[in-house]
Amino acid sequence: MKNVKTWSYGLSVLVALLAVGLPAASATVDLDAAVGATAAAGLFDTYVEGLLRTMTVLALTDEARSADWETIFPLLQAFQDTSLPMATWFLEPDGGYYTVSGGRSSANLSDRAYFPVVMGGEIASGYLVVSRSTGRKSMVAVVPVLVEETVVGGLGVSVFLDTLSEAIGDDLDLPEGLAFLALTPEDEIALHSDTDLLLLGSGEADVSFDDGASAVSDLLGWTFWVAQRD
């Protein structure tokens, strides 16, 4: 599996350097949790920022600005093939869309919360959905494609939350007994070491933060926790 190290090697090295020289006896649960929470938020922000930068560049290409799926398809296929497992798609101004994996979809996205944001010419990111094309729990990011000042569509990705959770967990390599999760400001579980709990509320999932530590994502405001497993 490709993991977040592909985009955040420098941060991983920094976290490793912070741990060098600490005697084993001093590596308390509190310290491990605090370093882990900060690293998890940093890894997430680094990945999403890189994703959005790439999408912004792609949205400026002649292929994207053509708003023609046959022309756009090779561009998005290459993007999808070199990223974490995710669905990539092109959104039309009426809410119709095409996916790299399935072509023209019979569904429509005009009722999604991010749709008016993108059609208003703004980047939309961090929206949690159950994908209509894959059925998987995903985080959506969409970058508008503009020709002069007119939005002709949007380049979208649906990042699979279970895959992203596993990738961040692999990079963190937490000590045995610790787990991580990320909560949205609406108290929804966006990421978790136990992927069965994704998109549940913290109360519904009965998660505990005893002996844990937290750090907040600068990008989306999600709170990353590292705590002892229940």
Spatial separation of the C-alpha atoms in residues 160 and 152, rounded to whole Å: 26
Which CATH number, 3.30.450.20, 3.20.10.10, 3.90.320.10, 3.40.50.720, labels domain 68-161?
Answer: 3.30.450.20
Spatial separation of the C-alpha atoms in residues 200 and 110, rounded to whole Å: 24
pLDDT tens digits for 38-62? Answer: 999 999 999 999 999 999 999 999 9
Which amino acid is it at 99? T
Q: Where are the beta strands (DSSP E) in 28-135?
A: 86-91, 97-99, 103-104, 124-130
Q: What are phi and psi of 194, to 5 degrees?
A: -100, 100
Residue 176 pLDDT exceeds 70: yes
Residue 25 pLDDT exceeds 80: no
Judge if 5-50+162-228 and 68-161 fold alike in CATH terms. Answer: yes
Which CATH number, 2.30.29, 1.10.287, 1.25.40, 3.30.450, labels domain 5-50+162-228?
Answer: 3.30.450
Confidence class of residue 4 from pLDDT cuts 50, 70 and 90?
very low
Span 56-84, average pLDDT: 96
Spatial separation of the C-alpha atoms in residues 65 and 205, rounded to whole Å: 43
Residue 2 pLDDT exceeds 70: no
Give the list of residues 6+ apart from residue 47 with CB closer than 8 angstroms, or none.
4, 7, 8, 84, 164
Q: What is the pLDDT of residue 6?
A: 40
Helix, coil or strand: residue 157: strand
Q: What is the pLDDT of residue 174?
A: 83
Domain segments of the chain: what residues?
5-50+162-228, 68-161
Confidence class of residue 206 from pLDDT cuts 50, 70 and 90?
confident
Q: What is the pLDDT of residue 91?
A: 98
pTM, entire model: 0.83
Span 97-104, average pLDDT: 96
Q: What is the pLDDT of residue 230?
A: 63
